[in-house]
């Protein structure tokens, strides 16, 4: 019975490590580079419904085939009808990086770094440590497994 549970646990760990490797591959492997003209940049006011009533602005750039989030600093640099160069990931078709065509500087949106690099890498490290220290991290593994599932849902939508 214990050997069966151990095999099942290792099987589940393997599935999550493979899913994390796919997400990491999608982020790290250069996808297709696309150059398109910027149609519009939209600024949206994001409200927090708490006692302080805080808010921040988020920015999205729209081209003829893609729209994606950008940083505030980058939004201030660009103008409509200006060419933008961006890399589309090979598996999930996410925007891995973007920049103005002739500027030479490239940026990566922070949510993409979190979803494509940090969460899957953290899960692989935690599972590796758990195998070394024999099951002392079951809650932490569960949390990162839930984050990888949420990450996959985010990437598929």
- pTM over 0.95? The answer is no
Closest CA to 149 of 25, 11, 23: 23
Tell me: pLDDT of 28 over 90.
Answer: yes
Distance CA 108, CA 96 (A): 6
What is the reported pLDDT for 135?
A: 64
| N-term to C-term CA, the chain | 39
CATH topology of domain 32-109: OB fold (Dihydrolipoamide Acetyltransferase, E2P) (2.40.50)
pLDDT classification of 50: cutoffs 50, 70, 90? low
How would you class 20 by CB atoms within 10 Å of its CB: exposed for 0-12, middle for 13-18, buried for 19 or more? buried
Place of tokens 């932490």: 140
Place of tokens 């290792």: 10
């Amino acid at each position: 019975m214990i050997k069966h549970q151990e095999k099942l646990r290792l099987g589940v760990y393997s599935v999550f490590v493979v899913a994390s490797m796919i997400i990491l591959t999608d982020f790290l492997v250069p996808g297709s580079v696309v150059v398109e003209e910027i149609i519009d940049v939209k600024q949206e006011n994001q409200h927090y419904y708490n006692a302080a009533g805080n808010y921040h602005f988020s920015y999205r750039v729209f081209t003829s085939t893609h729209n994606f989030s950008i940083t505030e600093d980058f939004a201030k640099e660009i103008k409509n009808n200006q060419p933008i160069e961006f890399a589309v990931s090979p598996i999930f078709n996410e925007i891995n990086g973007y920049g103005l065509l002739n500027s030479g500087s490239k940026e990566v949106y922070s949510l993409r770094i979190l979803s494509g690099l940090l969460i899957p890498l953290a899960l692989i490290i935690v599972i590796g440590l758990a195998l070394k220290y024999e099951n002392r991290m079951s809650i932490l593994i569960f949390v990162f497994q839930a984050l990888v599932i949420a990450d996959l849902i985010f990437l598929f939508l």
